[in-house]
Structure 1
Amino acid sequence: MSGRLRGIMASPRGCAIGLKIIFDMQQISLRSAIAAFLCLLGGCTVGPDFVAPKSHLPAQFSEAPATAAQVAATNAQLQQWWRSFDDRELNQLITLAIADNIDLKIADQRLLQARAQRDEIAAGAYPTLGATAEAERARASTTLEYPPGFGNYHDFIGGFDASWELDIFGGNRRATEAAQDRVFATIEGRRALMVSLLSEVASDYATLRATQTLLAIAQDNVRVANDVYQLTERELKSGIGTDLQTLQARAQLEATEAKLPGLKAQIAVMAHAIAILLGRTPDALLATLSRPVPLMSPPADMPATVPAAVIANRPDVHEAEFAYEAANAQIGVAIAARLPDFSIPLSIMPEASAINQLFSFASLAYAATLSASAPLYQGGKLNAREREARAAAQAARLHYHQVVLQALAEVQNDLVHLQSDQQTHLALSAAYRDSQTALDHATLLYHAGLTDFLTLLTNERANFAAHDALAQNDLALVQDYIALFKALGGTPEAAPPAAVKP
């Protein structure tokens, strides 16, 4: 091939021009034409090559600036972030969820499906080979003058058919590239599912334990309210109390008791939800999880990160990028559909009347062809398909940037909530301590006859409300940490290297 022709072949459009030049050359042999095609196989891949999108990211999160050492520590923590809560039962539940969750098993099958689809498309780059065999005994008429009859005869046929679709313009390579990107996107989708699963198990477990704490608080307050009610009854019978005080005390007792059924139901609902996440029947864990255990404490250190690390860790961001890359490759598929197709069909079909002659050279029949076909006019369908592919790629690119923005917003929102709830915790802790002290004083004063019953009742209600609010804030803090770990992309499975075929 001349240097000028090689220069023409260097571009996708040049491939088509070069092919025309080759076939316009006179006195070209079939062997030379095939050699030229083979030279072109690796030289033309139409469509734009993928360029990874770049997002303009801030260097730090304003809510919580982080050093490089802190980011490295957080990245190491993310693979087993649930262990930061130091709760053995939570660790066991997470292990079971990873092994037995049904949604994860469905995702595994979808990954196998995506890989099979990729392999099916990639197989189009290889020749196809088939075999045939036929044995026939027949009789022809012997009364014909032409062709002369020959009575009984045997016919044995055996052979091979082969065909090779030459991927001159890289349409199949682009389709395989898109299928491989969909495999990677499926892997990242499974990792995103893992992130959500682990956070949901931890969140439901925290809610269950916090609800058990709220139930214990309510039960303690029922006992206190009952003691107060019994006291007012005794005072009423002794003549130093009033009907109003007794009615008020009984109303307080009944209001406190009314909270118990709802809390017990919430505990059961959370136990059912956790069992489903672990691939079990709803009541499978009810007995185990119904045993009260204190809510786990928040991690000692708050995760610290930077926007670039978030984007590197989030599976949904990787999934969006691979989806964009797959859509970009489909442009090349659409362009290649507008260009000529070339194939080399080959048939080797020996035929003989005696089976012992079937493998002799004289019985050999074969055909080798170089065929080409090109779309001439289809009413603009192929052009529209290319425009569709380009629009889909742009939509995927914009979706990627949207996912990046949402990921950053989730982290920042979770940091804001965590810092807010930490401040609230300090105030509620002080309020609960003060309300407990006030209740103790009010109780002593009431028994000494130095204050009225309404003052005691008011302090009792305030203490119950403060204790309840503090317990709910404890849950909010734990939930904030879980949400933050989820927003950071915490999962035990590392992202697949894009350059390695899974």
Structure 2
Amino acid sequence: MPADWWRLYDDPALDNLVREALSANTDLRVALANLDRARAIYKEARGGLFPSTNVSAGANYGRDQTTWTGAGQAPKTWSYTGGLDVSYEVDLFGRVRRDIEASRADTEAVAAAYDAARVVVVAETTRAYVDACSYGESIDVANSSIELARRSMDIVSSEEHAGSASHLDVERAGVTLAQAQAALPPLQGQREAALFELAALMGRTPSQVPESARACTRAPEIAGALPVGDGTALLRRRPDVRQAERQLAADTARIGVAVADLYPRVTLGTSGNYLRNDYLKGNRTLSFSFGPLISWTFPNMMVARSRIAQARAQSAASLASFDGAVLNALKESEQSLSAYDAAMQQRDALVEARDRAENAFLLADRRYRAGSISYLDVIVAQTSLIDAKSQVAAADQRVGSARISVFKALGGGWEQASTQ
């Protein structure tokens, strides 16, 4: 399954629409912002591997009576201070490493969510375009059916004036024409709805429907069989499965973070300070300190053990979610393939029915002109032909939509986003 599966349609207009949707879709912009946030959190967690520093500096002007040994008030002087504090947590029990591991897995889960959003945007953009084209094709079929019914109406009206047809035949022809005309407005409304959906997916307003989509009146087709692949490849491709697996990894790593809180934290720290005062005639005072700091919640371990239990419960929930994601991926793929196969079989049968209805109408028209049958038989054959053409057009739309559902279920339309 290629990541850019929509190119299999070999439709430059569709390719341009998908590329614009990938760059302007509002849901994708939200997902990308979430990914940027997750990356920033991951970088923050990685900062725990390095020493933390704090630099301070200050300047003051005034009297310092505490250091004045002369008579009267101390003179006004400038004093300057500076300091540097450095601390480093010694990761003896893996708390920092596990925290980084959890943060990285979180970022990868958010990246998978972004990929899942790409799958949806690509599939729904393609579906909206194919639907608009299919409805355009159905509108053409409806217009041709209206024209066919109108010609029959004109013919039978002329024959009524000539005395070779009854007014009943005219009314029957009028019913067929009205029914054909009634089928047109719903198709036009559905086409407009598909075009508006396409505009929204591309980050446009309804008044900014792409002209290439509005001009399309024939749905694009794919030559050859669908590149389905095997089940293992499916599970690797599906971003929702990868998201669930990465979330499980993150929650499992947090168990290690919670367990590390059972043990002491050892932090190495050093600090240095500087003082200069004009009263001291340029003399400077320097001081420094160095030593470890040990913090431990012993003997009250209730909080730490409760957090371990919470982390383990969350990991168990994530494992169940992962199992569910795998089952859902397999279910959706089988359902979409089954629906696509059924839609193709239905279309083949409807195409055969349309061809037979066309032959029946031509035969009925010839026999009516020869005077061997009544015009009612022609009306019946004509109605069957119009219905058959409409059903084939609707079947084409269902096949196109089912094909896109297959691509969507198989996880097509993403390239793994970086966590960096």
TM-score between the two structures when normalised by the length of structure 2:
0.91
Amino acid at match of 1:212: G
Counterpart position of 2:249 = 325
CA distance in 1, matches of 2:283, 2:265: 35
Written as runs of structure 1 = structure 2, the 5 A alignment for 1:401-440 is 401-440=323-362
Work out the CA distance in 2 between the residues paired with 1:425 and 1:359: 96
- Equivalence for 1:213: 137
Q: 1:461 aligned to 370, 383, 395, which one?
A: 383
Distance across 1 between alignment mates of 2:8 and 2:204: 26
State the AA in 1 paired with 2:84: F
Deviation at 1:379, TM superposition (A): 8.2
Structure 1 distance, partners of 2:387, 2:261, is 71
Structure 2 match to 1:169? 93
Q: Distance in 2 between matches of 1:366 and 1:99?
A: 55
**Alignment partner of 1:151 is 2:74:** yes
Query: Which segment drifts farther, 343-352 or 131-140?
Result: 131-140
Q: Which residue of structure 2 lines up, in the alignment, with residue 390 of structure 1?
A: 312
d(CA) in 1 for partners of 2:61, 2:417: 63
The one-letter code matched in structure 2 to 1:423 is Q
Point out the more displaced range, 487-496 or 213-222: 487-496
- Matched residue, 2:163: 239
* CA 150–353 in structure 1, closer or farther in 2 if over 3 Å, else same: farther
**Mean Cα displacement is larger for which, 324-333 or 80-89?**
80-89
Q: 1:265 aligns to what?
A: 189
Aligned residues: 418
Q: Is 1:203 paired with 2:134?
A: no
Give SS of 2:267's match. Answer: strand
By relative contact order (CA 8 Å, sep 6+), the higher-ranking structure is 2
Hey, what's the Cα distance between the residues in 2 that align with 1:448 and 1:248? 20
| Alignment partners' CA distance in 1, 2:139 and 2:298 | 77
Which residue of 404, 407, 411 maps to 1:489?
A: 411
TM superposition outliers: structure 1 runs of 4+ over 4 Å? 146-150, 355-360
Counterpart contact for 2:135–2:217, Cα < 8 Å: no
Q: Residues of 2 paired with 1:421 and 1:84: CA distance?
A: 20
Alignment of 1:30-179 (within 5 A): 75=1, 78-139=2-63, 151-152=74-75, 154=77, 155-179=79-103
Instruction: Give me the whole-angstrom Cα distance separating, in 2, the residues matched to 1:147 and 1:368.
Output: 37
Amino acid at match of 2:75: N
Instruction: Quickly say closer, same or farther: Cα 1:279–1:356, change in 2 above 3 A.
Output: farther
Q: Aligned partner of 2:289: which letter?
A: A
Change (3 A) 1:147 1:456: farther
How far did 1:86 drift? 2.2
Q: Using the alignment, how far apart are the partners of 2:302 and 2:208 within structure 1?
A: 60
Q: What SS does the corresponding residue of 1:370 show, helix, strand or coil?
A: strand
Q: Give the residue type in structure 2 aligned to 1:151.
A: A
Q: Distance in 2 between matches of 1:91 and 1:450?
A: 55
Out of 378, 382, 397, the position equivalent to 1:475 is 397
RMSD: 2.6
Rounded Cα–Cα distance in structure 2 between residues aligned with 1:269 and 1:411: 27
CA contact (8 A) 2:277 2:283 kept: no
Q: Distance in 2 between matches of 1:301 and 1:148?
A: 103
Equivalent position SS for 1:241: coil
Partner letter of residue 21 of structure 2? A
| 8 A contact 1:272–1:286 mirrored in 2 | no
Paired with 2:401 and 2:58, the residues of 1 have a C-alpha distance of 73
SS at the partner of 1:371? strand
Distance (whole Å) between structure 1 residues aligned to residue 60 and residue 178 of structure 2: 97
Describe the SS at the equivalent of 2:208: coil
Do the aligned partners of residues 286 and 159 (structure 1) sit closer, same or farther apart at CA in structure 2, a change above 3 Å counting? closer
1:301-380 map, 5 Å: 301-354=225-278, 360=284, 363-376=285-298, 380=302
1:356 Cα shift?
A: 8.5
Structure 1: which 5+ runs fail to align? 1-74
Deviation at 1:378, TM superposition (A): 5.9
What is the CA-CA distance between 1:133 and the residue it aligns to? 2.3
Percent identical among aligned pairs is: 27
TM-score (norm 1): 0.77
* Candidates 371, 374, 378, aligned match of 1:452: 374
- Paired residue secondary structure (1:369): strand
1:150: Cα distance to partner?
Answer: 6.7
